[in-house]
Structure 1
Amino acid sequence: MLIETETSFEPSLTRSSSADPQDPLLVRRAPVRANSFDEATRTVTAVISTGAAVRRRDQRGTFLESLQIQGFIPATLHGVPVLDSHRQNGGRDVIGIITRAWIENGELLASIRLSAADDVASIVQRIAEGTLRGVSVGYRVGTWRDGTDPATGERTRTATAWTVHEVSFVPVPADPGATVRSAMPDIIENTESLPTPVPAPDPRIANRAAIRGIALRAGLPTDWADAQIDADADVNSARAAAFEAMQARNVGPIRTQQNGPSGDDPAVILSRRADAVAARVMGTAPPDHARAFMGDRLTDHARAILALRGFSMVGMDQDTLLRAAMHTTSDFQNLLTGVGARTLLPAYTAAESQLKKLARKSLLTDFRRASRLRLGEVGPLQKVTEAGEIKHTTRGEAVEGLELDTYASMFSLSRKAIINDDLGAFRDWGEAAGRAAAETEALLLVSLLTAANGAGPVMGDGRTLFHASHGNVGAASALDSTTLLIAALDASRLQMRMQKGTDGKTPINAAPKFLVVSAELETLAEQVLTLLAAPDASSVNPFAGRLTLLVDPRLPEGSWYVFADPAVLPVLEIAYLSSAQGVQVSSREGWDVLGVEFRAVLDFGAGALDWRGANRTPKTPGSPL
């Protein structure tokens, strides 16, 4: 059954006792029509407010005051203390606590759990038998909306933002129609016998009530709350002291978290601890903010994370501690994952193939094959006729494509390694996984250039990337001297300059930027590209300082290419999944092994888009180079 309140526009006024005689508490009360007391759980349901209007008076005169129930957040009532007749003299005046609140049929209701203490047993008994049925609520208003009653023209004030600070059980007044709310500190009841206005209450009263609420929620005795109040502790200090008291007694924790990038923010502390572990793994100097954690072992980090989240570790050995860190919160796994990523990414970046400079980078949203439409050139503008007619021009089109594949590697950091603080295996795997990811990308690019015995992949026109019909294959050469190499470069550059658009007629004037060679041609290529003072004009090296040399040992012996700038005329394209660019590291608690499992995942694809920005010179069969 439901405890409800009667609403009336003729409120009764009573003055309840208070901790400060200068701070009278004006309340509006109502009888209870039904009782919902549950003896097994010591809970009772009450209507906290119906939002009905009540006549008030302030310095401007009388007005109708109402509470706006719509938009009120019932969760703010959780943990609000329930008092005996609004008294705040000590812990014995707290007789219960609100455990749940909700809005039903436009009314604000709450479930109240009453105390089992002996000193409030008589009050609980009166509530149980139905002789104590009045409920009164104390609240403060943050925002008012002023208006006028359309029927009577009377001034109205509606509390649109308000918070409940305490709820009290009170005796039923003589007037059974009085509403159940306590008066605002800046207004008084509509009675001719009282002066206006009422002085503001002492803020110490609210502070004392808040401290007692903290003690009640933490399961601490009233003596603890009295000691905090006697010491003039504020709410923050009392909350910190309650946390320490529970840690000492191994009582369920109060979990608190400070928002913002401060030293007390758990996210900031976790990031700093990850920086410290990463510095230890990689053997680098830590950032200043991480130096305080450099001496911590992995089990120390696990202990700190549990403490940061408010978990008690009394009596835990290292193994139990580690299990708790991996089961009760994801923070420890996130710390290790972050360290793994910081170890893997530098190795991945350092091992990246130079061939990636030849390709245009793109992002794909899924694993379906992506088509690339290549539009042809417009051609020269046509002369406008005397009649002002502008002729239409057509553009050629070509379609190429590529798709993503997923590549992955897995590693396990055993429970034994974590307890022993063995970071060497962690570092070795991170570096190896990073190099493996870079090697995977490089091999895919090399496979495009070396497919079909060096002719490359088949393009949209049915021919290979390097094909005589594409005009991007030079004459075979031994390439065993700078003279021959310069001659081959000259021929390749000429072929690129003479490339036509998709219409087969419009010159595109492609310019080479990269010289790509296999490892054994590196020295010869460097000699060709070195700027030397020539004794006469015929000895001038036309390619000195004009091309960028790229060397890849994965290319077959004697491989030699010229590529245009991919930002101007892309030949190759590499792609990553848009939600996971580059190699990604994730972890989970080990299932097949005792410990933490890590995996490195790479979603990557490569394809050929165009043949006009590249030129290949094949090696003469049987030549040494």
Structure 2
Amino acid sequence: MQTRTMSVDLGERERKEAASSRRFPVSVSSETPVQRVDWQSGGQLFDEVLSHARGAVDLSRAPLPVLESHDRSKVNVGVVRDLKLDGKRLRGELVLGQSERAKELAADIADGIVTGISVGYTISQETRDEKAKRITATRWCPYEVSIVSVPADPSVGINRSASMDEQSATTTPPTDNTTPPEVLAERERASEIHALVTRARLGADFGAQLVRDGVPLEQARARILDALVVRDQQAPTNQHTRMDYGRFDAISPGTDYGEDFRRAAVDSLLIRSGIPVARPHAGARDLSGSVYDLARLSLSRQGRTGSRFGESRGPELIKRAMVTADFPAILAGALHASVRSGYESEPASHRAWVRAVPVPDFRTQQRPILGSAPSLAQVGEHGEYTDGYFTDEMASYSVMKYGRMVAISWEALVNDNLGAFLRVQPALGQAARRAEADTVYALFALNSAAGPTMQDGTALFHANHANLATSAAFDSAQLGAGRALLRKQQALGGGYLSLVPRYLVVPSERETAAEVLLANATRRVNTEKTTPEWIASLELVVEPRLANTAVYLAAEYNQIDTAELGLLEENMNGPVVEEEAEFRKDVKQWKVRHVFGAKFLDWRGVVKMPVT
């Protein structure tokens, strides 16, 4: 998110009148150029202009919260509402709240003490004029308005009226096109200091003080680094924080800014590589996604600069960045996210009807299968209550480990070919999801398609289990026979379970026929229906791994534990990526690991219906 600062300009009488209601007219933004540092072009200075043409300003987040010095760790003190475009300006009404701090600010504004505001915004579309060193934001979105101390654009601010803006425009003296070198140098110093302070999130006041005191740029860098050290020492730390690169959320109060930078960098790399990101980080668009730019930023965050290490694009820069905390984490995070994207995008029919649960380790997992409660016995007058017992059985299985090593060469990093490397990694995530499905559906083929041997020594689908229908045509009558078998299943110790069929699992060859059955069940016709309506409530699961000899009805796993997919806790959201050190070769290596196992726990929740 970027910011720009404006000043307050209000007559004394108007300020006093507005103070009692704590409502002030405000000019939020204008098309006044503001100097920025363009990191995509190697840190060059340029003028940024916010367009106020029709359709340029996205007001979807209005009303805007009012903060102090862009401090998002504290609750807002007011809002800016009734936003509207007025020529080349964005205007609204600043309303301060009932808190003591809001009342203090209202009084300071009324007394003319507080004279600056700043708008925070993001840019989604822009045009560049390289010759004029100007970038025009043709589509941008304001996120918040902050009350600050030092204004940079006196043409807009709190209590600015249209007449005042016109007066400012007519009384501004013409400028000479020839700018003295010392003025340009001072502008560059101020711009660089403000850019460094903004990236370090030390507040606009901190940067303004450095500029006012005339602190040289190198000394300013040292003071900024000292301030970061003090802030880190005062902030609470969590020594066991684990980064989850599967989700990328915008910055929130209390966020670790180091992790926030890494999240934005990971999203930037993924977008540059052509990998879809559902909710990209708000700061991702401000990063180029280039390996070299991210290396320079990682060094800069530790108080270093890439220019000290020879070429701005070269092996030495990458080598130096590898020893920072950020750069290796960004590479690993991007790899993890690309693998995860493949895992989540791969079709997985088994996840619809199989329960996925975390397991703590590789030891055999024991799953008790409780029977029904004992039936109640009649008790006569003064009679004695007899004991009743639950019956149970035990099913067990173990998880297995699957994995691969992936590596990117030193030459690929130096050539900035990380994008090509990331684009092939989703295949590893897809392979992990396919391995799960292979394991689950391979169970159906065991014992000549009778399924795995259960804890009672009998195959899963067997007449003794009352879950094997007679072979017949695939129609509503066959489904009805399967439903009856499911309904009549009894718990251990007796008692009907009254299971309801929820899933219709079919091989791909039967997909069209199944769709016709479900569609006929949903139609409302005047003539007598041949397909009962209960079939319409089934969820169709199509699986090409199944043989074209049978279809299956399965109950919801919340009704009964039928099949279970156990995953090591670290693999619940997909494969885990770990870095592997390789000293003998100039490569960066990662290990992709996925640990899981599958087991049919109970035969009562699934029925096999052979079809002709």
Fold-level match, TM-score > 0.5?
yes
Q: Relative to structure 1, is the Cα distance of residues 473 and 283 closer, same or farther in structure 2, using a 3 angstrom cutoff?
A: closer
- Residue of structure 2 in register with 1:10 after alignment: none
Q: Give the Å deviation of 1:243.
A: 6.5
| Mapping of residues 180-259 of structure 1, within 5 Å | 241-242=218-219, 244=221, 256=229, 258-259=231-232
Q: Give the Å deviation of 1:349.
A: 1.2
2:398 counterpart of 1:408:
no
Q: Relative to structure 1, is the Cα distance of residues 399 and 341 closer, same or farther in structure 2, using a 3 angstrom cutoff?
A: same
Between the aligned partners of 1:263 and 1:356, the Cα distance in structure 2 is 33
- Residue of structure 2 in register with 1:559 after alignment: 550
**Match for 1:308: what amino acid?**
R
- Residue of structure 1 in register with 2:295 after alignment: 302
Between the aligned partners of 2:356 and 2:576, the Cα distance in structure 1 is 18
Match of 2:376 among 378, 381, 391: 381
Q: Relative to structure 1, is the Cα distance of residues 425 and 241 closer, same or farther in structure 2, using a 3 angstrom cutoff?
A: closer
**Match for 1:292: what amino acid?**
D
**Match for 1:301: what amino acid?**
L
Match of 1:517 among 496, 506, 524: 506
2:316 counterpart of 1:320:
yes
| Mapping of residues 133-212 of structure 1, within 5 Å | none
2:517 counterpart of 1:528:
yes
Q: Relative to structure 1, is the Cα distance of residues 341 and 386 closer, same or farther in structure 2, using a 3 angstrom cutoff?
A: same
Q: What are the Cα deviations for residues 178-220 of structure 1, in whole angstroms up to 9, with x where unaligned?
A: xxxxxxxxxxxxxxxxxxxxxxxxxxxxxxxxxxxxxxxxxxx
Q: Give the Å deviation of 1:429.
A: 2.6
**Match for 1:599: what amino acid?**
K
User: Secondary structure, in 3 states, of the residue corresponding to 2:367?
Assistant: strand
Q: Is the Cα–Cα contact under 8 Å of residues 529 and 543 in structure 1 kept in the other structure?
A: no
- Residue of structure 2 in register with 1:594 after alignment: 586
Point out where structure 2 has 5 or more consecutive residues left out of the alignment: 1-207, 236-252
Between the aligned partners of 1:377 and 1:491, the Cα distance in structure 2 is 24
Q: What are the Cα deviations for residues 327-358 of structure 1, in whole angstroms up to 9, with x where unaligned?
A: x2342121011112222222211214111221
- Residue of structure 2 in register with 1:546 after alignment: 537
Between the aligned partners of 1:534 and 1:232, the Cα distance in structure 2 is 79
Match of 1:421 among 401, 416, 419: 416
Q: Is the Cα–Cα contact under 8 Å of residues 346 and 434 in structure 2 kept in the other structure?
A: yes
Q: Give the Å deviation of 1:592.
A: 5.7
Q: Relative to structure 1, is the Cα distance of residues 363 and 240 closer, same or farther in structure 2, using a 3 angstrom cutoff?
A: farther
Between the aligned partners of 1:495 and 1:444, the Cα distance in structure 2 is 26
Q: Give the Å deviation of 1:427.
A: 2.8
2:458 counterpart of 1:485:
no
Q: Relative to structure 1, is the Cα distance of residues 467 and 310 closer, same or farther in structure 2, using a 3 angstrom cutoff?
A: same
Q: Give the Å deviation of 1:535.
A: 4.7
- Residue of structure 2 in register with 1:573 after alignment: 564
Q: Relative to structure 1, is the Cα distance of residues 591 and 489 closer, same or farther in structure 2, using a 3 angstrom cutoff?
A: farther
**Match for 2:407: what amino acid?**
S
Q: Is the Cα–Cα contact under 8 Å of residues 395 and 455 in structure 2 kept in the other structure?
A: yes
Q: Relative to structure 1, is the Cα distance of residues 237 and 354 closer, same or farther in structure 2, using a 3 angstrom cutoff?
A: farther
Query: How many residues in Structure 1 have an aligned counterpart in Structure 2?
Result: 378
- Residue of structure 1 in register with 2:260 after alignment: 268
Match of 1:279 among 271, 274, 278: 271
Range with bigger deviation, 464-473 or 594-603? 594-603
Q: Give the Å deviation of 1:444.
A: 0.7
Q: Relative to structure 1, is the Cα distance of residues 233 and 549 closer, same or farther in structure 2, using a 3 angstrom cutoff?
A: closer
Q: What are the Cα deviations for residues 377-425 of structure 1, in whole angstroms up to 9, with x where unaligned?
A: 0143233331153222122211101211111122112222222222443
2:339 counterpart of 1:348:
no
**Match for 2:478: what amino acid?**
A
Match of 2:596 among 595, 598, 604: 604
- Residue of structure 1 in register with 2:193 after alignment: none
User: Secondary structure, in 3 states, of the residue corresponding to 1:458?
Assistant: coil
Between the aligned partners of 1:429 and 1:405, the Cα distance in structure 2 is 25
Q: Is the Cα–Cα contact under 8 Å of residues 272 and 419 in structure 2 kept in the other structure?
A: no
Q: Is the Cα–Cα contact under 8 Å of residues 276 and 291 in structure 1 kept in the other structure?
A: yes
Q: Relative to structure 1, is the Cα distance of residues 388 and 533 closer, same or farther in structure 2, using a 3 angstrom cutoff?
A: same
Between the aligned partners of 2:576 and 2:294, the Cα distance in structure 1 is 23
Match of 1:364 among 359, 362, 367: 359
Q: Relative to structure 1, is the Cα distance of residues 319 and 538 closer, same or farther in structure 2, using a 3 angstrom cutoff?
A: closer
Q: What are the Cα deviations for residues 3-22 of structure 1, in whole angstroms up to 9, with x where unaligned?
A: xxxxxxxxxxxxxxxxxxxx
Q: Is the Cα–Cα contact under 8 Å of residues 533 and 540 in structure 1 kept in the other structure?
A: no
Q: How does the TM-score come out when normalised to structure 1?
A: 0.56
Q: Is the Cα–Cα contact under 8 Å of residues 275 and 338 in structure 2 kept in the other structure?
A: no
Range with bigger deviation, 368-377 or 579-588? 579-588
2:452 counterpart of 1:434:
no
User: Secondary structure, in 3 states, of the residue corresponding to 2:229?
Assistant: coil
Point out where structure 1 has 5 or more consecutive residues left out of the alignment: 1-230, 621-625
Between the aligned partners of 1:598 and 1:354, the Cα distance in structure 2 is 29
Q: Relative to structure 1, is the Cα distance of residues 506 and 355 closer, same or farther in structure 2, using a 3 angstrom cutoff?
A: same
Q: Is the Cα–Cα contact under 8 Å of residues 258 and 264 in structure 1 kept in the other structure?
A: no
- Residue of structure 1 in register with 2:286 after alignment: 292
Q: Relative to structure 1, is the Cα distance of residues 302 and 559 closer, same or farther in structure 2, using a 3 angstrom cutoff?
A: farther
| Mapping of residues 67-106 of structure 1, within 5 Å | none
Q: Give the Å deviation of 1:575.
A: 1.0
User: Secondary structure, in 3 states, of the residue corresponding to 1:288?
Assistant: coil
Q: Relative to structure 1, is the Cα distance of residues 330 and 592 closer, same or farther in structure 2, using a 3 angstrom cutoff?
A: farther
- Residue of structure 1 in register with 2:605 after alignment: 613
Q: Relative to structure 1, is the Cα distance of residues 267 and 512 closer, same or farther in structure 2, using a 3 angstrom cutoff?
A: closer
Q: From the CA coordinates, give the structure whose radius of gyration is larger.
A: 1
Range with bigger deviation, 491-500 or 584-593? 584-593
**Match for 1:431: what amino acid?**
P
Q: Is the Cα–Cα contact under 8 Å of residues 264 and 282 in structure 2 kept in the other structure?
A: no
Q: Relative to structure 1, is the Cα distance of residues 438 and 264 closer, same or farther in structure 2, using a 3 angstrom cutoff?
A: closer
Q: Is the Cα–Cα contact under 8 Å of residues 583 and 600 in structure 1 kept in the other structure?
A: yes
Q: Relative to structure 1, is the Cα distance of residues 242 and 551 closer, same or farther in structure 2, using a 3 angstrom cutoff?
A: same
Q: Is the Cα–Cα contact under 8 Å of residues 520 and 558 in structure 1 kept in the other structure?
A: no
Calculate percent identity across the aligned residue pairs: 27
Q: Relative to structure 1, is the Cα distance of residues 603 and 264 closer, same or farther in structure 2, using a 3 angstrom cutoff?
A: closer
- Residue of structure 2 in register with 1:585 after alignment: 577
2:448 counterpart of 1:453:
yes
Between the aligned partners of 2:317 and 2:226, the Cα distance in structure 1 is 17
Between the aligned partners of 2:568 and 2:316, the Cα distance in structure 1 is 39
Aligned residues: CA RMSD: 3.2
Between the aligned partners of 1:332 and 1:296, the Cα distance in structure 2 is 12
Q: Give the Å deviation of 1:591.
A: 4.2
Between the aligned partners of 1:562 and 1:588, the Cα distance in structure 2 is 45
Q: Is the Cα–Cα contact under 8 Å of residues 221 and 303 in structure 2 kept in the other structure?
A: no
Q: Is the Cα–Cα contact under 8 Å of residues 253 and 310 in structure 1 kept in the other structure?
A: no
